[in-house]
Amino acid sequence: MNDKKNQEQVERFFQHNPFEDPLYLKKYVKDHPDHKMAWYLLGREYAANGKQAKAAYCFAEAGEIYEAFERQKAVVEKEDLDKILQVKPSSDHKNRNKKTARWKWGVLAAFLLFAYIPTSVDNVSNKPNASDFAAATATVPSEVKIEAIAVKEAVSPLPLQSGTRIYYGRGNLNQDLAQMIVPNNSLWTSSLLVEGHTTPDGKWIEWYTSLRILLGVERSDTNKGQSQVQYYDPKTCHCEPADNSKVAVIVENWRQEREEAVVLSSAMDAFQQKTGTLPERAEQLREPYPQNLLPGLTPQMEAMFPKMLIEKKEGLPGKDSQSGASTMPDTASNPAGAQKQNPGQQEAIASSPGEAGASLSSPLQEPLSILVDKDKHRLVLVSGNFVIRNYPVGLGGTKTPEGDFVITEKVRNPNGKSNGDFGSRGMTLSDTLYAIHGTNKPASIGKDESLGCIRMLQADIEELYDMVPQQTKVKIGKGIIPDSGDGKPGEGNGTGKPATPFKAPLQTEDSNPKKTYKWLD
C-alpha cells in the first residue's frame, strides 16, 4: 500500500470517531486484523468498562504497541480466552464515565506523539532519552509518521514559521496535544501551548505575570502527517527543556494582542449598553467627552474591529457557543489591515471555532471589570478569572463605600491640570462624588487617607484609563481579590515591567475644562 493509501486509511479511521464508537473498532479489527493500534484502542475500551478478559485478549493482539504504551507484556490466560470466544462483546457504549473519556484522549495523544509523560512517581526521576522513543517509533503503524523528541539543552528551538498559532490550555494536556497536532486546516505549520500561573487558592490566573510556555509543535512542510514536539517546560516532560527565549517573544506579542482584543471587545459592549446598538465604525469608540469610551485605538484594534463586529452581530461575543473557544480576531489572520507591534517579528494566531483548537480554551473572553479590596489596598483589573492588572491604591477606610458601581464618566486632566489633587486622570463611579483618580500625594498609596475616593499613582491610573471604557463594572469590598504576587507600584502595568504598559493613542478630546470636579479626594 503506497503512502497516499496509508494516509487515506488513517483519515477514514479517525473520521468514524473510534473513541466514541467501539462497534466501529470491532468491525475495523475484523477487517484489519493486523492493525495493532486498533486492537490496542479496543482493549482500552474494554478495560475502561471493566471487561478485563476481553481487554487482555485485545492487548495481546496489539503486541508491541501495547508494550510500548504500557511498559509491560500483555498476558492472556486460557480461561480468559475461552470467555472471550464464548461471549459476544456488548454494544452498549452510551453511558461512559469521565475516566473513560480521559483515557481515550490520552491514547490519541500518545498515538500521535509517542511522547514520554510519566504516569507514576517512580518514572519522574528517569529522564527520557532517544532510546525511549526509538522503541515506540519502531512500532508505529506505517500510516502515521509522528516524531516526538525529548529535548536536550544542546538542541536548538524549533524553527517556528510566520503564522505560529498560540493555544491557551487549561485542560487535559493529552487532549490539547491531540488537537494541536491534528488541525482541520493547513494555514499554519507551528503552534505553541501556553498557560498562566494560578493563584495559591487555584481560583484565579495571573495574566499579568509571564505565561508558561509548555511546548511547541511543528508540522512538516512536505508531509502534514508528520509533526515534531519540543518541550519548554520541565514539569511537562520531566526532561531538560529547550531554550524558550525566541518563542517567548512570540508569546509576549500574542499576550499584548489579546489584551488589545479584550479592551476593544469591552468598549464595543459598553457602546451597546449606552446606545442600545453596536458601533458600526471604530471611531465611535473614541468620541469626544462626554461620550468618550476610549482615548483611542491601536492599529491592531482598528484591524480587529470589522471581524469582531460581525461576530458580535451573529451573537458570538468572543466565544463559540458550543466549544467556548476564542473568536476574537487576530490581525495575523488578516495582516493586511494591521500594523505589527514589532516589525520583523513572527506573528501569532489564536485558536478559533471550526479549527482543531476549538475545544482548547482561549483567555480573556469576559468583559473587563474592576475589583477594589479595602483590606489589601489593591485594585485588580479582571476578565473572568484572569487577573490582568494588579495595582496598589489609596483608600479612605470607612469613608470608602462598598458595593457595585459602574464608570459613568472619564476625564483627562481633571480641573485643567495633571498635577492637581486628582492627578492626570479621573473616572467617576455611578454619577457620585466617588471616583478612581490620580493623586499628588503618592505617599498615601496603601493607606486610608482619602475622603472616600480611590487614589492611584500616575502611571497606574493612566494605564487603567486607557484600558477600561465607560460602563465598566466596579466592585468595592473586602477579601474579594486573590492573594497573589503584586505588581510594583507606579510602573504602569501592575507587573513590574515598566517597558510594556498598555497605552492607547490619544485620538479624541476627552478633557472637560468647563467643569470643576469636587470628588471626595
Catalytic residues, which ones? 437, 453
What grid cell was written down for 331?
490581525
Q: Considering only CA atoms, which of 54, 49, 51 is closest in space to residue 81?
A: 54
Q: How many CB atoms lie within 10 A of CB 40?
A: 27
CB 489, CB 455: distance < 8 Å: no
Q: Considering only CA atoms, which of 384, 369, 381 is closest in space to residue 487?
A: 381
Q: Considering only CA atoms, which of 190, 178, 204, 209 is closest in space to residue 250?
A: 190
| Interatomic CA distance for residues 161 and 254, integer angstroms | 15
Q: Say which residues have a Cβ less than 8 Å from residue 513's Cβ, sequence separation at least 6.
A: 416
Which DSSP helix (H) or strand (E) runs through 386? strand 386-392
Taken in order 382, 296, 493, 324, the sign of the CA dihedral is positive
Q: How many CB atoms lie within 10 A of CB 512?
A: 21
CB 371, CB 384: distance < 8 Å: no
> Any alpha helices (H) in 19-97, and if so which ranges?
22-31, 36-48, 52-62, 64-70, 78-86
Q: Considering only CA atoms, which of 478, 315, 492 is closest in space to residue 397?
A: 478
